[in-house]
Amino acid sequence: MLQELFAAGSIENEFEQVWTMYGRKGNKKTSMLRWVNLSRQQQCCAKEHIPKYVAATKQNPVFRKNFEVYLNQHAWEDIIFTNVPKQNYDGIKGQTSVSGEFDTPTL
C-alpha cells in the first residue's frame, strides 16, 4: 500500500507542500519518514497548525523546531502563545520585567 502511494506521488507531493509551508527547516529525509508514519488525522491536524506556528515564529525562526522534531513531538497539539502582555514585578525598581527589560533604578 505504501509503495503504491509513493508510486502515485501523492505522499511525496503532500510532504513537499508541508515541507515548503514549514520553511524547509531540519532534515528532509528524516522529516519525510516521520510524516509518512503519522496517521491521516495527525497529518491533517499538523497541516492546519503549521501556518499558525510558522507565523508565531516568523520574527525569530531560530526558535522554530526542526520539522522532524515538530512531527516527532506532535507539536501541533501545543498551545501557541502570541501577544503576551508585558508585566512588571510589583513595580519594584531594578527588577526585570517578564519581557526581559530592566527598570531604571532611581536614586
pLDDT in tens, 55-67: 998 888 888 999 9
Under 8 Å between Cβ of 13 and 30 = no
Distance between CA 65 and CA 23 in Å, rounded? Answer: 11
Grid coordinates belonging to 27: 532534515
Give the pLDDT score at 11: 86
Instruction: Indicate the residue type of 32.
Output: M
DSSP H helical segments within 1-107, as ranges? Answer: 2-8, 10-22, 28-36, 40-56, 67-72
Mean of pLDDT values over 69-86: 82
In the predicted model, is pLDDT for residue 1 greater than 70? no
In the predicted model, is pLDDT for residue 18 greater than 80? yes
State what percent of residues in the chain have pLDDT above 70: 67
Q: Count the Cβ atoms, other than its own, within 10 Å of residue 46.
A: 22
Domain residue extents for the chain: 2-77
Give the pLDDT score at 97: 45
Stated pTM of the model: 0.67
